[in-house]
Amino acid sequence: MQKIPLPRFQFEQIGIIHSCYRQKFGIPRQPGIVKAAEAELELLSPYNQENLVRGLDVFSHIWVHFIFHKTMEEGWRATVRPPRLGGRERKGVFATRSTHRPNPVGTSVVELRGIRTGNGKMVLKLGAVDLLDGTPVIDIKPYLPYADALPEASGGFAPSPVTLFDVRFSDQAMARCAAYEQVTGRQLVQLIKEVLGQDPRPAYLRETTHRRHGTALWDINVVWESHGTYFLVTDLERLP
């Protein structure tokens, strides 16, 4: 079958994500896993008008379509090793949620907590996301449970959520978290537990212990190490 000639597609960026994730290391592999990771979607001009979101506020969740802008220049791969399979098996890109796709488009279902306007800004308050800070958004649609929620669907090789690791804190790290939470009002302890709990290590580092890892959340570098059955947060460092 021949390709039908089409005009080249071009998408408009309609919004930008503001989230706690400043680097890919540590971002959950799907939204909803890290509940403490709330975020914002700021609509950009000329799409920052109330007209465009009229009626959206009565939906509890939305589909967010976005561009994997930080990996798109690396191109795509026909097969990838899903972290879910421990990096041991290859699957076709279209059988996975890999970021390295022929078209670098991602899709996430996220909770819509509210819509805020003011100062010429139009901001959707979101629940848990799996998106880098600065991610360009190309579309938003309401999530329709009657059509989109399919309880009988089969989850293939990712049938259920991953089990979370136990995350512990040194006294010093816990004290720093408490101080940070007091100043910012952010739930840092919970965020760290959920982010590290899902084991952000790439498959080839899964067997290592006592290796120092750093995970950036908001303006903090969380320093931690694996102790086999649990992870220990040893320190927090302020990022510039």
Ordered DSSP codes for 126-140: ESS----TTPEEEEE
Q: How far is the CB of 197 from ligand SAH (least distance, A)?
A: 14
**Which residue, 49 or 202, has its beta carbon nearer to ligand SAH?**
202
Q: How far is the CB of 65 from ligand SAH (least distance, A)?
A: 9
Q: How far is the CB of 60 from ligand SAH (least distance, A)?
A: 18
CA distance 45 to 175: 42
User: Closest by alpha carbon to 69, among 11, 140, 126, 26?
Assistant: 11
**Which residue, 18 or 69, has its beta carbon nearer to ligand SAH?**
69
**Which residue, 31 or 197, has its beta carbon nearer to ligand SAH?**
31
> Cβ of 191: how many Cβ atoms within 10 Å?
23
Contact by Cβ (8 Å): 39, 129: yes
**Interhelix angle for 171-184 vs 188-197, to 10°?**
120
Q: How far is the CB of 35 from ligand SAH (least distance, A)?
A: 15
Phi-psi region of 75 (alpha: psi -120 to 50; beta: other; left: phi over 0): left
The footprint of ligand SAH (CB under 6 A) covers 24, 27-31, 68-71, 97, 99, 106-108, 130-132, 135
**Which residue, 96 or 226, has its beta carbon nearer to ligand SAH?**
96
